[in-house]
């Protein structure tokens, strides 16, 4: 029987609660680990503090999301290359196998010119996979802009490792299964979430939108996917910890259900 991939909780899924709450909720619900989102929360930027949380709650860090959002451009310094390298160092220190990265913004011209080479070099040096994530265009009325260079689909460029985000495929109007096929064996990381197809990043509980979340999970298991599945779900509108935990428990149940490995007929 094939083993099911580990299921982790993104610490961004408990926002606006702090990163410590991500470890608490992951431990309470039985997630296999967390993906650390490095952002404005000072604890998320402190590797030693994060390691203490992991030890205290018995929840390992399985991946690190680099501070590459528009709102985290000053976290760990203004130089995006330095932020990549610090993310890789953090992952190595925490025992995480993957760093999640977004493509450069168009205004980051020097960074965009260096990005592919730096991603390849850093991965070779550290042994940590740098998995570039698919993104989406921005729409305002009839105006559509692509803020990423050279685009929002990393398979157009080619990298050794990819992260597939199903909220982003929904917002982009991409063919999710076709992107899954293009990523192929280079798919290292999955952000299991959902979207309605509206032109915005929704990060819905999987199964509540239009994306083929169940089929993606089942295809990964059938292919022997060796990466990590991360629930990256927006709970920012929840008023209480109970509401937040309920959504994240539902998300975990969806993942466990659809990531079950089918029995090997030869062993029946």
pLDDT at 244 (0 to 100): 98
In a domain, 2, yes or no: no
Domain count across the chain: 1
Query: Does a structural domain hold residue 266?
Result: no
* Residue 268 located in a structural domain: no
153 within domain boundaries:
yes
Is 80 domain-assigned? yes
Q: What tokens were used for 27?
A: 């431990």
Say how far apart CA 175 and CA 38 lie, in whole Å.
29
CA–CA gap between residue 74 and residue 252 (Å, rounded): 33
Within a domain: residue 265?
A: no
Residue 140 is predicted with a pLDDT of 82
| Spatial contact of 268 and 228, defined as CB atoms under 8 Å apart | no
Q: What is the pTM of this model?
A: 0.95
In a domain, 34, yes or no: yes
List own/partner pairs for 235-244 with CB under 8 A and 24 or more apart.
Answer: 235/13, 235/14, 235/15, 236/15, 236/16, 241/17, 241/21, 241/25, 244/14, 244/17, 244/25
Q: Which contacts of 44-50 are long-range, i.e. CB under 8 A and separated by 24 or more positions? A: 44/11, 44/19, 45/75, 45/76, 47/89, 47/90, 47/93, 47/94, 50/19, 50/90, 50/94
Dihedral sign for Cα atoms in the order 124, 126, 127, 131: negative
Domain with residue 211: its CATH number is: 3.20.20.150
What's residue 168's pLDDT?
Answer: 98
Write down the pLDDT at residue 125.
79
pLDDT digits (tens, 9 = 90+) for 166-199: 999 999 999 999 999 999 999 999 999 999 999 9
Q: Which two tokens stand for residue 165?
A: 């985000």
Low-confidence ranges of the chain (pLDDT < 70): 1-2, 262-268
Q: Which of 81, 157, 154, 87 is nearest to 126 (CA)?
A: 87
State the Cα–Cα distance between residues 175 and 16, nearest whole angstrom.
31
CA distances from 4 to 39, 46, 128, 186, 268 (A): 30, 31, 21, 18, 19
Structure tokens of 52? 């203490």
Domain assignment of residue 267, yes or no: no
Return the pLDDT at 10: 98
The range of the structural domain enclosing residue 168 comes to 7-260
**Among 204, 194, 10, which residue's Cα sits nearest to residue 98?**
10
């Amino acid at each position: 029987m094939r083993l099911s991939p580990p299921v982790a909780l993104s610490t961004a899924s408990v926002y606006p609660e702090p990163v410590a709450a991500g470890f608490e909720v992951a431990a309470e619900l039985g997630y296999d680990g967390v993906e650390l989102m490095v952002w404005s929360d000072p604890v998320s930027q402190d590797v030693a503090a994060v390691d203490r949380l992991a030890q205290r709650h018995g929840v390992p860090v399985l991946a690190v999301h680099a501070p590459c959002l528009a709102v985290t451009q000053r976290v760990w310094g203004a130089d995006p290359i330095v932020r990549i390298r610090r993310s890789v160092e953090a992952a190595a220190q925490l025992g995480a196998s993957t760093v999640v990265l977004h493509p450069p913004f168009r205004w980051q011209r020097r960074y965009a010119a260096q990005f592919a080479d730096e991603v390849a070099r850093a991965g070779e040096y550290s042994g940590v996979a740098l998995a570039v994530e698919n993104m989406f265009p921005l729409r305002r009325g009839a105006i559509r802009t692509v803020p990423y260079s050279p685009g929002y689909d990393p398979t157009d460029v080619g990298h050794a490792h990819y992260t597939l985000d199903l909220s982003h495929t929904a917002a982009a109007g991409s063919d999710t299964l076709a992107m899954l096929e293009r990523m192929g064996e280079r798919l290292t990381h999955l952000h299991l979430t959902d979207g309605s197809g509206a032109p915005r990043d929704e990060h819905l509980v999987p199964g509540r939108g239009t994306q083929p979340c169940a089929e993606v999970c089942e295809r990964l298991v059938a292919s022997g996917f060796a990466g990590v599945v991360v629930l990256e779900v927006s709970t920012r509108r929840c008023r209480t910890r109970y509401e937040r935990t309920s959504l994240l428990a539902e998300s975990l149940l969806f993942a466990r259900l659809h990531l079950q490995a089918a029995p090997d007929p030869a062993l029946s």
